[in-house]
Amino acid sequence: MIDLSTVIAGVSFPVGLMNASGALCVTQDELEALGKADAGAIVTKSMTPLAREGNPHPRYVAIDGGSINSMGLPNLGYPAYAKLIPELKCFRKPVIASLAGLHPDDFLEGAKALHVAGPDLVEVNLSCPNIPGKPQIGYDFEETEHLLRALRDIFSIPFGVKLPPYFDPIHHQKIADVLERIGVAFVTVINSVGNTLVVDPEKEQVVIKPKGGFGGLGGRIIKPVALANVRAFWKIWGDQIPIIGTGGVENGIDIFEHVLCGASAVQVGTILVEEGVGVFTRLARELTECLERKGYPSLMACRGKLQEME
Ligand code: OXC
């Protein structure tokens, strides 16, 4: 039997496969469905101090090769998730709380609420591209360091960050330096590719309503961007800081590619929304078949093994 388990920041996952924050993880029902499914963890929607309806509809559209979204952080608010998290522990798999905010102070308030709720890990979302007028914090290295320093003073739970995609090696190095100074427990890369635009040529119109049609791109078309970011951080850190790969995973071979690049686990977004929680069963089966065919006894045995050309 192939071992698909993984360990991140001292937390054991039965399978290194879970939902990306945002995908089918807002409500109690959705979170419980993830608990019952073959997902290796339950990741909550990114939470803010107060419950939010999010942006106006239509705000998610499946497109050829992926999806575009501008959800605008619809969520139940810190107090509701703080109450739910202890209940989700009954599924006996790690619970990861995704923390967001509209102002730096929000994150600190959320950190205090989560401290009591006790998730296994916290993923600090530094990269939501869809709040009108609010930049993605992860593109501002000074602001990121400032915020994470303040959070570090509050958290006793291990915390990591969800980053936006970076497109230049200098930026990978600069953010990696910040994260090393802070001592984050893990990184999740990548969030959706922010502020992209999909056009309907028949209607001569954008396809989502918020922000004039600009939104985050996800799904198969962003896989090369995601793999590049996983690989870039693996080349900087090796196994020093675990990486959760996110972006473009549709089948078992996609997971294998993420892990070859250096990921310790993989998250799924668009394909989960399109297929529902049964996707985890299919992905685990396909991943097992792929590792068997390749002769790897476990998922972790192929981590970082991507070869470069002489
Ligand atoms: N990334 C996020 O971090 N949040 C959601 N969309 C996205 O692509 C959202 O809620 O808009």
In-domain check, residue 309: no
Annotation says 128 is catalytic? yes
In-domain check, residue 186: yes
Residue ID of nearest Cα to ligand 1 atom 10: 73
In-domain check, residue 208: no
In-domain check, residue 142: yes
Radius of gyration of the chain (CA): 18
Q: Compute, in angstroms, the gap from residue 27 CA to the centroid of ligand 1.
A: 16
- Nearest CA to 287 out of 304, 306, 301, 308 is that of 301
In-domain check, residue 59: no
In whole angstroms, how far apart are CA 75 and each of 45, 53, 55, 100, 229?
Answer: 7, 7, 11, 10, 28
Q: Which residues contact 219 (CB under 8 A, 6 or more apart)?
A: 62, 63, 65, 66, 67, 248, 250, 269, 270, 271
Cβ–ligand 1 contact at 190 (below 6 Å): no
Cβ–ligand 1 contact at 69 (below 6 Å): yes
Reported as a single tens digit per residue, the pLDDT across 68-98 is: 999 999 999 999 999 999 999 999 999 999 9
- Residue 115 pLDDT > 90: no
Work out the mean pLDDT of the chain and round it to a whole number. Answer: 98
Probe ligand 1: pick from 128, 195, 268, 273, max atoms within 8 Å of CB? 128
CATH number at residue 156: 3.20.20.70
Task: Judge if pTM exceeds 0.85.
Answer: yes
Reported as a single tens digit per residue, the pLDDT across 8-49 is: 999 999 999 999 999 999 999 999 999 999 999 999 999 999
Dig out the tokens for 27 from the structure: 């409500």
pLDDT bin (cut points 50, 70, 90) of residue 127 is very high
In-domain check, residue 295: yes
- Residue 116 pLDDT > 90: no
Reported as a single tens digit per residue, the pLDDT across 268-279 is: 999 999 999 999
Domain range holding 283?
A: 6-54+72-192+220-302
Total tally of structural domains belonging to the chain: 1
For residue 296, the model assigns a pLDDT of 98
